[in-house]
Structure 1
Amino acid sequence: MMLAVKTLAENTTIFSREVRLMGAEFEFSLVTDNPAWALQRIESAVKEITRIEKLLSTFNEESSVNNINRNASVKPVRVDVETFKLIDRALQVSALTHGTFDIAYAIPATDEDGDVIAIAPVRTLKKEISLTNYTNIVLDHAAQTVFLKDKNMRIGFSAVGRGYAADRAKYVMQMEGVSSGVINAGGDLLAWGLQPGNAPWTIGAADSSKADSIFANVEISNMAIATSYNAGITIKKGDINPVTGFPVSNIRSVSIIAPTAELALAMTQTVFSTGINTGLYLINKLNQIACIAVDDHERVYSSKDIKL
């Protein structure tokens, strides 16, 4: 995605700083006439993202996520309010997408020597998936606990956690008086406010193989846009997603526009997994969410609210 910037008012600049966080490059761009003040606000955002990373990381032995995973099938784990609400929202998206988006996953089966067992037959694989999907994550709202029913299941937030961190960074900066800015979280954008002259933030959407050929200009002020690209995986005609049962089409890229980066990233995974037609059907039923997708024949598709 290319950020299209209008001419700025006199003495006003876009102050930017790039920092590597959560395994990705974060770029913070604030509209300001005071670079020193902007740098302090960015530092606050960096601290917040670092906090979220520690909260959700599976590499942090003390994180709530690791505690939940360690106690899979053993006992419910009481977690902090923030983590509980994040899991609750994830389960709502899973239900909405019929399990296409899922923070639950199965750990590889191993033999007595600890070696990974070869991939199981499809029938066995489907049974394993049914035991380790989101429906086996049990939330107790009164006790604020999370319980994984199956010993072989785990949860993880991956890119969605990065999106949530970007949302939180935006919130922190807004609370400190930043009225307009853009966060680029590893290529996914979160924008708020307006450029000088009341011009909205705009992106130019393009096929990743033809970056100079823009097929859509989309306003993203007070919205987030997440884009995922096919990493070169070839899908044979007629292939079926083993989780959803939907036919899968070859997709080159998917861009989702949503109110939060967390939701935008969750829905890009959904469209990639279900295919363009099924994905757009779902997107068109939702409010405040839009989609642009490109298939392997360079055909561009969009949801009802996008004009190409």
Structure 2
Amino acid sequence: MSKMSTERTRIALNGPTMGTRWSALFFAGSGFDPAPVRAELQEAVDEVDAQMSTWKPDSDLMQLNAAPVGKWLAVPEQMAAVLRLGLEVGRASGGAFDIGMGDAVTAWGFGPDPAGSDRIRAAMARPRRHAHEVLEIVGPLVRKSAPLVLDLNGIAKGYGVDRLAETLQAHGIHDALLGIDGEMRALGLRPGGQPWTIAVETPDPERRAPHSILALQDAAVATSGDYRHWVELHGHRLSHTMNPRRGAPLASSPASVSVVAGNCAEADAWATGLMVLGPDKGAELAKKHRLNVLFLIRDEAHDTRSMSVGPLFGEELEKGPGIGALRGLGQATVD
């Protein structure tokens, strides 16, 4: 066999989705045509967006939001699976992750419309029941037993990454790095047998720089933070993460929370829930559920320290400056 026939070419594909871009990186033999794969990857994330977007008035999610209380509505299988996972993480997190925050998200200006004072007051005054207490799912059928406005922004991008992974695997590609807006999933290994390296960003809105490096194989990582997505209201910068108890953005939180899990939708949901809980209660819950979590915590002097939990990070540890190599699903280097 000639050398030419065994050479592998680096393939980097990307496209628009959910207000940002998806990416796929893998290696293929010479003569590989990436066009059909790119088309199917785009179709996969377009399908997720069409079902779960709050920015598309005709999405399946918005139709469910508009459905009367008590009415069963058939939803696509993919969306039903995401709703089930959202409710599962909601129960496990004690409601810290709640897919029923759509009214608050919209009121505070994190949806298609700007923030509105009347809507903010209504969102904060509304007696709240968690989505896992209100939403019923039987197969593809869903109904609300009480008024509820769903928002899947804390899980849909992660699920979109998982759909990218499934699409590549259907093409026989089992080694790849996939992402949407920083939510990443590693399939297999790089050529040469090395894990894929993924940076956890320094929580600084003014610059992009790596804080930590994860080297992962067959695992996903999602990060929730206070430094990329926000709105300014009356001169105050408000993070996009909602406190389900208040119907308002978090008043205080870690700078970021990164969760490593087997799939990206689960990592995405847990990152949001642990952001809400904060490092103390969040770390306790993460240990209970054997989650792999990296908290980045900003002090009053705007210095950042890290606290990590889980088998990947050697159970639980707290680190200031320095470097540690930690093993589990892969390897993590925390600076």
Q: Quick one: distance in 2 between partners of 1:262 and 1:72?
A: 28
Match of 1:295 among 277, 291, 297: 297
Q: Which residue of 2 aligns with 1:175?
A: 170
Shift of 1:173: 0.9
CA distance in 1, matches of 2:279, 2:118: 34
Q: Quick one: which of 181, 189, 192 aligns to 2:184?
A: 189
Deviation at 1:171, TM superposition (A): 0.4
Q: Paired residue for 2:127?
A: 128
State the secondary structure of the residue aligned to 2:260.
strand
Cα deviation digits, residues 37-61 of structure 1 (max 9, x gap) = 3343222111111122112223445
**Equivalent residue number for residue 150 of structure 1:** 146
Which amino acid letter does the alignment assign opposite residue 191 of structure 2?
A: P
Deviations 1:115-161 (CA, angstroms, capped at 9, x unpaired): 8637549xx9475223x6431112234xx42112233x211211411
CA distance in 1, matches of 2:38, 2:31: 10
* 1:69-88 aligned within 5 A: 69-88=65-84
The aligned runs of 1:209-248 (5 Å cut-off) are: 209=204, 214=211, 216-231=212-227, 243=245
8 Å contact 1:91–1:134 — kept in the other structure?
yes
Write the deviation string for residues 186-238 of structure 1: whole angstroms up to 9, x where unpaired. 11211101111211112244523486564x44222111111222137789xxx
Aligned to 2:63: 67
Name the count of aligned residue pairs. Answer: 282
Change (3 A) 1:15 1:72: same
Matched residue, 1:162? 157
1:267 CA drift (Å): 1.0
CA contact under 8 A between 1:101 and 1:267: conserved in structure 2? yes
Q: 1:38 aligns with which of 6, 11, 34?
A: 34
Q: Deviations over 1:47-94 (max 9, x none)?
A: 111122112223445433222211131512122333222211211111
Q: Aligned partners of 1:106 and 1:147: how far apart in 2?
A: 16
Task: Compare relative contact order (CA 8 Å, sep 6+) and give the higher one, 1 or 2.
Answer: 1
TM-score of the two chains, using structure 1 as the length reference? 0.79
Task: Name the SS of the counterpart of 1:107 in structure 2.
Answer: helix
| Higher-strand-fraction structure | 2
Q: Tell me the distance in 1 between the aligned counterparts of 2:272 and 2:296.
A: 14
Q: Helix, strand or coil for the counterpart of 1:150?
A: coil
- Percent identity between the two aligned chains: 19
Q: How does 1:47-126 map to 2 (within 5 A)?
A: 47-105=43-101, 107=103, 117=118, 119-120=120-121, 125=124
Hey, what's the Cα distance between the residues in 1 that align with 2:92 and 2:59? Answer: 27
Q: Is contact 2:45–2:163 with CA below 8 Å preserved after alignment?
A: yes
Identify the residue that residue 254 of structure 1 maps to in structure 2. 257
TM-score by length of 2: 0.73
Distance 1:186 1:68 in 2: 26
